[in-house]
Every structure is written in C-alpha cells, then in structure tokens.
Amino acid sequence: MNETPQPMADFAVGDRVRLTTPPPYLKTADTMPMLRPPDLVQLGEEGTIVDRRPGGYWGVKFERGTFLIDSQYIEAMPTHLDNS
C-alpha cells in the first residue's frame, strides 16, 4: 500500500473557520465530552478556533457552544480586508 496521508489543515488558535460539511454528530469540548446532534451548528456557520486536540480535532467556539470538530469538516475563513 502506497497511500499518502492527507495533509492536516493548518489552523491556529483565534482563526475564524466555517463548517463546510456536517459531521454525523457533535462532541462538546467539555472536560467530560458529550455527543450532541449535528443540527446545533448549521452548514456554513462561522466559529473561532479555541484550541488544538489530538487526532486532527480542533476546539471550535460556535454560537451554540464549543465543539470538537475534525479538520475535514471545517475550512479557514479568508483573512483579507476589503477597503471598499
């Protein structure tokens, strides 16, 4: 097998991200994580990276809570400023 591992998304604490694909469930970023239904975060909703977790997970603060999101479900928001 000659599979190349997928590159890990490069986010930093404080980065703004957007949910691009709905995960099958959400896991809270609490000390004792709980599984929550995926509809608490809407597709396209923006959040802020609050920390990095093992296994490709990121703590992301959304309007309805902070959840552990796999990097495959989020993308970085553009950081350019529009002076129009």
Ordered per-residue pLDDT tens for the chain, 84 residues: 454 444 456 899 999 999 999 999 999 999 999 999 999 999 999 999 999 998 889 999 999 999 999 999 999 998 765 555
pLDDT in the model for residue 5: 43
> What residue numbers bound the domain in which 54 lies?
23-76
The answer to whether the predicted template modeling score (pTM) of the entire model surpasses 0.85 is no
| Residue-level pLDDT at 4 | 43
Domain count, the chain: 1
CATH (domain of 67) = 2.30.30
Asked whether residue 51 is assigned to any structural domain, the reply reads: yes
State the DSSP code for 32.
S
Residue-level pLDDT at 79: 72
Q: For residue 62, what are the contacts with CB-CB under 8 A and spacing of at least 6?
A: 19, 40, 41, 45, 46, 47
